Amino acid sequence: MDKNYELLCRKAVMHGPLESLFCCVGDPVVGNPTQLMMEATFQSMLFPARYLTCTVSKDNLASAIEGIKALGFTGANVTAPHKVEVIQYLDGLTDSARLSGAVNCIIKDESGKYIGDNTDGKGFHTSIDNITPVEGMNVLVIGAGGAARAIITELALHGASKITIANRTTQKARQIIDSLGPQVKSTLKSIPFDGTLTIGAEYDLIVQATSVGLFDPAGGFEITWEPKTSGVRIAADVVFNPVDTNFLKGARNAGATVVDGLGMLVYQGAIAVQEWTGKDADCEIMRKALEEAFTI
């Protein structure tokens, strides 16, 4: 730990204000590197804080959120499987959380209320927007869980023309379409998916938004890529470990520009840090912390 930062944290304990408290709640959370990324950026910002990684079962989620409130945490991250369930225990939602129907970030506002936000979709959009604007894109999203809902929401809000959802459970895809469709200009539709998929040349952006392949280098779907002779083709995976997934390898071989899950993870974290602290995070430091975590 940097000596200046260590001294700052000691002074906070002895003279106040106390260090800000943050956490990540989910089940499982072993292998989730958010704590290492957040602690690295807090240190680089000289912002005295502590970040905990907490295993919270579904049965204990309500108690965990009450504990976060009672202990005065400044903010928290929420990961699977709680991103939807947690909504009922919060004091309010941002537009991104409301439209996506999922929360991955909790912010304590100036009045002391705990507001749910969704920085997943915002972080994903940033990782794509760094390459090219999403406005007018024809998008295919594989999955209909919390991450997919957030991504679909942000892509629609930023002007994607068409968004097709491929998911094993068509009812989940239909729920997204029915709730989000009337509130955005994008055309939303679903297609059947059984783990095997042919990706047509009409798609400009293909998003693998499930947990398939997470911590499993051999994991993946059976995907056939039709040739695309003109226009942009970007393939993005939300899985961050391994960084280079089988999905991305196949997309790269098909000539697509690939975006790994670290981009979304870093940018959504940077947005959360800004909302929690009012300060800009160093994305390079955050990504380096993640890359170092995966070598442990």
Q: Is residue 36 within a helix (H) or strand (E), and if so which, with residue range?
A: helix 34-45
Give the list of residues 6+ apart from residue 137 with CB closer than 8 angstroms, or none: 155, 160, 161, 162, 204, 205, 232
Residue matched to tokens 């991305």: 248
Q: Distance between CA atoms of 232 and 209, rounded to whole angstroms?
A: 20
Q: Annotated catalytic residue: which of 3, 11, 83, 288?
A: 83
For residues 242 and 217, is the Cβ–Cβ distance under 8 A? yes
Q: CB-based burial of residue 102 (10 Å sphere; 0-12 exposed, 13-18 middle, 19+ buried)?
A: buried
For residues 178 and 115, is the Cβ–Cβ distance under 8 A? no
Q: Distance between CA atoms of 16 and 37, rounded to whole angstroms?
A: 25
In Å, how far are 210, 249, 268 from 241, measured between CA atoms?
Answer: 13, 14, 16
In Å, how far are 48, 62, 81, 195 from 74, measured between CA atoms?
Answer: 12, 18, 22, 41
Q: Tell me whether residue 83 is one of the annotated catalytic residues.
A: yes
The strand pairing partners of 22, in sequence order, are 51, 75
Catalytic residue positions?
83
